[in-house]
Copies of this chain bind each other. A is one copy, B any other.
């Protein structure tokens, strides 16, 4: 068979059984992919946000500027129905901080208070440390055994492509202070959840115990955690002074910022996608989550530029992810339209290239998803047999209400070198990786928004 004949036969095969639909979707997705790879929109969004706004925790004056920036940016990019959805966020804002070893070997320590840390009294807390090499070691301590001490956990984090290293150790930051307080500790220090060796601590939120006093808690940089291990190994008591100031507002004004590409046939069916606008304060929120909001915004814009899709694509820039407030607020506000939310997904795992797609349950064999899969090979993305699980915390509320989701997993190998630290800056992003991610997202959004795929039906819900 000649090559031309073989090609014609393949085309004919694709057309059988109503596959013209899939062929159109695949062609559109391929066109979007190739345009995305040559498009600088996502890169320019991150450049603009990190330069013109910088760090922007919920509740800070910078978040007001971020909000205005987001409204102006979505409008300038051609989104319709650009608006704010206000809510009350749990805000925690850092004040001056310091820490030092006072005995037996005085020297400064590099720390960052954790979100929801209690402030120390003026002048700080000085106490002997009790150092544990793993979280399980801390958990094995009996009640009262840490009375008057500063508990320290120095467990290392594993570098992985899929964020598993972070998941495995996340409780060290989020639950450590509560567990230490239950055992009598007056403060808690945790080795940063970091895969890098830079002397920069990594911030992040934690939860105080409801059944024990709220205590001060901070992250140590990796070299500082190692320093304390070496001091403790010398067998003499190690005393640390910790001084942390902060203010909290459990109902700070906050906003989710929204823009839409209205659908041409079924505008009330909505694909919800986005990233979060707020960031931790030490860096400039470039990889967390400037990249995620830039990739999803740029992808939606490209979809719209091809002409209105069947369904609406709605970009949401969530306003208080780091303190877990914005997703809950969004789900509460949108409960009534949940049946019309075709899919909800957040990109919030950095600026690495997407390496894996996990589709909604049962969707692998649907022609729209097959069309999506046909464009992935040159992007070096594999389609997993595993269905998507809950992704970014901003869509967890919608998913709990029944919204389907997708996982377009970026390579997180380098993400946790930077995440929540001063090193979260624009220079750490490779614009080619960003363009690759936009290509994956644009192709996916298009095949969902321009088709009639019903993920709930496919999942047997």
Contact A423 B54 (CB under 8 A): no
- How many identical subunits does the complex contain? 2
Interface residue A432 (Cβ < 8 Å from any Cβ of B):
no
A197: chain B residues at CB < 8 Å are: 427-428
Determine the distance from Cα of A227 to Cα of B65 in the docked complex, in whole angstroms: 17
Segment among A32-40, A106-114, A247-255 that sits at the interface with chain B: A106-114
Q: Are A107 and B53 in contact (CB under 8 A)?
A: yes
Contact pick for A427, options B65, B106, B223, CB 8 Å = B223
Q: Which residue of B lies closest to A109 (CB)?
A: B54
Query: How far is A230 from B105 in the complex, measured between Cα atoms in Å?
Result: 42
| A61–B426 alpha-carbon span in the complex (Å) | 39
The answer on a CB contact under 8 Å between B107 and A198 is: no
The residue from B198, B230, B283 contacting A51, defined by CB atoms under 8 A apart: B230
Task: Report A238 CB to chain B, min CB distance, Å.
Answer: 11
Instruction: Contact check, A105 vs B53: say whether CB atoms are below 8 A apart.
Output: yes
CB closest chain-B residue, reference A101 = B54
- Cβ-neighbour of A200 out of B107, B199, B226 (below 8 A): B199
The reply to whether the CB of A447 lies closer than 8 angstroms to some CB of chain B is no
Q: Contacts of A54 on B, CB cut-off 8 Å? A: 105-108, 227
In the complex, 30 of the A-B residue pairs with CB atoms within 8 angstroms, ordered by the A residue number, are A47-B230, A51-B227, A51-B231, A51-B234, A53-B105, A53-B107, A54-B105, A54-B108, A61-B106, A62-B106, A62-B107, A107-B284, A197-B427, A197-B428, A198-B198, A198-B200, A198-B423, A199-B283, A199-B422, A199-B423, A199-B425, A200-B422, A223-B284, A223-B425, A223-B426, A223-B427, A226-B425, A226-B426, A226-B427, A227-B426
Q: A: which residues have CB within 8 A of B?
A: 47, 50-55, 61-62, 65, 105-108, 110, 197-200, 222-223, 226-227, 230-231, 234, 283-284, 421-423, 425-428
Q: Which 3 A-B pairs have the closest CB atoms?
A: A54-B107, A223-B425, A199-B422
